[in-house]
């Protein structure tokens, strides 16, 4: 079965320092991969998506992710964290019939 694993359930950073949220996926010939963000009491918002074009994907709010086939990874990064980035982040992969398979989520805490 196709799966997504987020390697950290919690990540804590200081404001202004880099953010790294890790995601690995089970092997597939052509995965569609996504990062979503969920702020408290809000729905999910799409940050970025990979659909077999450029391996470095830029998203909203300064986030980007790099697709590495050899490592089956799709890690999310941001050079400098803001307090407003504090949220829960979900990595997901898509299937041909539309289902999104989500990772377990990573809670990002940003300290002043």
Partner 1 sequence: EAQVTQNPRYLITVTGKKLTVTCSQNMNHEYMSWYRQDPGLGLRQIYYSMNVEVTDKGDVPEGYKVSRKEKRNFPLILESPSPNQTSLYFCASSLLERGRPYNEQFFGPGTRLTVL
Using CB under 8 A, pick the residue from 46, 54, 56, 60 that binds partner 1. 46
Q: Choose between 44 and 86: whose C-beta lies nearer to partner 1.
A: 44
Provide, rounded to whole angstroms, the least separation between the CB of residue 16 and partner 1. 29
Q: Is 9 one of the binding residues for partner 1 (CB under 8 A)?
A: yes
| DSSP codes of every residue in the chain | ---EEES-SEEEEETTS-EEE-EEE---SS-EEEEEEE-TT--EEEEEEESSS-SEEE-GGG-EEEEEGGGTEEEEEESS--GGG-EEEEEEEE-TTSPEEE---EEEEEE-
Provide, rounded to whole angstroms, the least separation between the CB of residue 17 and partner 1. 26
Q: Is 90 one of the binding residues for partner 1 (CB under 8 A)?
A: yes
Q: Choose between 10 and 111: whose C-beta lies nearer to partner 1.
A: 10
In 3D space, the residue among 10, 20, 4 whose CA is nearest the CA of residue 72 turns out to be 4
In the complex, the residues that contact partner 1 under the rule CB under 8 A are 4, 6, 9, 32, 34, 36, 41-46, 49, 51, 90, 92, 94-100, 102-105
């Amino acid at each position: 079965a196709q799966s997504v694993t987020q390697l950290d359930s919690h990540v804590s950073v200081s404001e202004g320092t880099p953010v790294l949220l890790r995601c690995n996926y089970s092997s597939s010939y052509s995965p569609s991969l996504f990062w979503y963000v969920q702020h408290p009491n809000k729905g999910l918002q799409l940050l970025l998506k990979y659909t077999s074009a450029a391996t470095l994907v830029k998203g909203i709010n300064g986030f980007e992710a790099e697709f590495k086939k050899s490592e089956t990874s799709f890690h999310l990064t941001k050079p400098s964290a803001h307090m407003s980035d504090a949220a829960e982040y979900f990595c997901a992969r898509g299937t041909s019939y539309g289902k999104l398979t989500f990772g377990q989520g990573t809670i990002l805490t940003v300290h002043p």
